[in-house]
């Protein structure tokens, strides 16, 4: 079955593709279909943004579509950066600036209050209907970046039960544990059912 | 009666002094007393920080002491910058950087979701005991700074019922309306009673 992954973030697309392709879906990206106007991510929730993106992609292409919206939710920032994770420093998609800003904001926050969660809402829209699910990955924010894998806030996030950052995990390890892996695995039964 | 205002922020001290002095208290600042070690503001609430500062000042000087902790709580940022208002951009006390960061973070947030409140916790610690109160000032965050008065986030905050920013109000108007004015007026009866 063909499935459109409605993301323009190359690294995120890679993660989504790996996880979904392993389930036997034939995966297309936005570069494989004619361009269509994409709505900005202005919903106040991950779920709202993911669903809007999947819905727009399905409406424009007729292909069963999966989209995600994800980010990091930091306890000491009342759950922010949240839906603003990719533009936390004001500019969009500057991983380094976003990460350094978080480290600066948390400089005086003691170790026992540095809890956080990576959150991913994954949405599907297709001929059979639409659905949205949520995956979370708890951990804590450290004080200096470590690791070269992953992207975004990975170098400052140490998952619960680990001593390494998510940027120090291999892609395969990360997929097993991550918010995006969890959300997509929650979505798979719906995909199989709704896409028929 | 002598009252120590435990703040090192000159503009904030000016506001506190104006409001409290009008009530007939003889106001001292930290520069008028011997130096003592000041604890960093690491509490997760305005109230906790204000009380810690007032308590430290009273313990060190024996003078009835008032302290505040204040900031801006923005709805679309889940109540942040909150206690991190003065160091939101990572550096402490860079009003311009903090304000520009907020404008960048809210760039895609539509007008109907730009609500905010200035919040001030004002604490007293003296021989008669201690107390802490909270004043709030609701409004919204605009898209370009306006006005030269005040400090901090004043140029991007338009109070409810107004069309001008709090940086376009005179000091006297601001004192009547502001979070700091409200909190201090809530504190005054306690001051009179507890300081005796």
User: In chain A, what are the domains?
Assistant: 2-195 (3.90.950.10)
Q: Which residue in chain B has the smallest CA separation from A110?
A: B42
Q: Is the ipTM of this complex over 0.85?
A: no
Q: CA gyration radius for chain B?
A: 17
Nearest CB partner across the interface for A78, out of B80, B88, B107: B80
Low-confidence ranges of chain B (pLDDT < 70): 194-196
Distance from CA of A99 to the nearest CA of B (A): 11
* Nearest by Cα to B46 from B86, B19, B77: B86
Mean predicted confidence (pLDDT) in A15-26: 79
Q: Supply the pLDDT for residue B127.
A: 87
Q: Which pLDDT score is estimated for B195?
A: 55
Order of strands, sheet of A65-74, starting from the edge strand that comes earlier in the sequence? A26-29, A2-5, A65-74, A115-126, A129-141, A157-159
B84–A107 C-beta distance less than 8 A: no
Nearest residue on chain A to B100, judged by CA atoms?
Answer: A90
Mean pLDDT score of chain A, rounded to an integer? 91
What pLDDT is recorded for position A194? 64
Annotate B171-189 with three-state secondary structure.
Answer: HHHHHHHCHHHHHHHHHHH
Residue B77 to residue A78, Cβ atoms within 8 A: yes
Neighbouring CB atoms inside 10 A of A143's CB total: 11
Q: Which residue has the higher pLDDT, B172 or A8?
A: B172
- pLDDT for B27: 87
B83/B47 Cα distance (integer angstroms): 10
Band of residue A22 on the pLDDT scale cut at 50, 70, 90: confident
For A77, which of B80, B104, B113 is closest by C-beta distance? B80
**Does A93 touch chain B if contact means CB atoms closer than 8 Å?**
no
Q: What is the pLDDT of residue B149?
A: 94
| First-last CA distance in chain A | 9
Structure token pair of residue A133: 């699910």
- Residues A77-90 have pLDDT tens digits of 999 999 999 999 99
Known catalytic membership, residue A69: yes
**A110 touches B: beta carbon within 8 Å:** yes
* Residue B89 to residue A82, Cβ atoms within 8 A: no
Question: Per residue in A159-178, pLDDT tens?
Answer: 999 999 999 999 889 989 99
């Amino acid at each position: 079955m063909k499935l459109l992954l409605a993301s323009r973030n190359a690294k995120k697309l890679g993660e989504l593709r790996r996880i979904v392709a392993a389930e036997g879906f034939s995966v297309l990206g936005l570069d494989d279909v004619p361009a269509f106007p994409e709505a900005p991510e202005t919903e106040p929730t991950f779920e709202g943004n993911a669903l809007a993106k999947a819905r727009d992609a399905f409406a424009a292409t007729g292909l069963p579509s999966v989209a995600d919206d994800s980010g990091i939710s930091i306890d000491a920032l009342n759950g922010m950066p949240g839906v603003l994770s990719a533009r936390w420093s004001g500019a969009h998609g500057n991983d380094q600036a976003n990460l350094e800003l978080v480290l600066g904001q948390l400089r005086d926050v003691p170790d026992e209050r540095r809890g956080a969660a990576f959150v991913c809402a994954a949405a599907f829209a297709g001929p059979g209907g639409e659905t949205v699910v949520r995956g979370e990955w708890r951990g804590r924010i450290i004080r200096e970046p470590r690791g070269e894998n992953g992207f975004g806030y990975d170098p400052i996030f140490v998952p619960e039960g680990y001593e390494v950052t998510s940027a120090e995990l291999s892609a395969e390890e990360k997929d097993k544990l991550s918010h995006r892996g969890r959300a997509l695995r929650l979505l798979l039964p719906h995909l199989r059912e709704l896409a028929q």
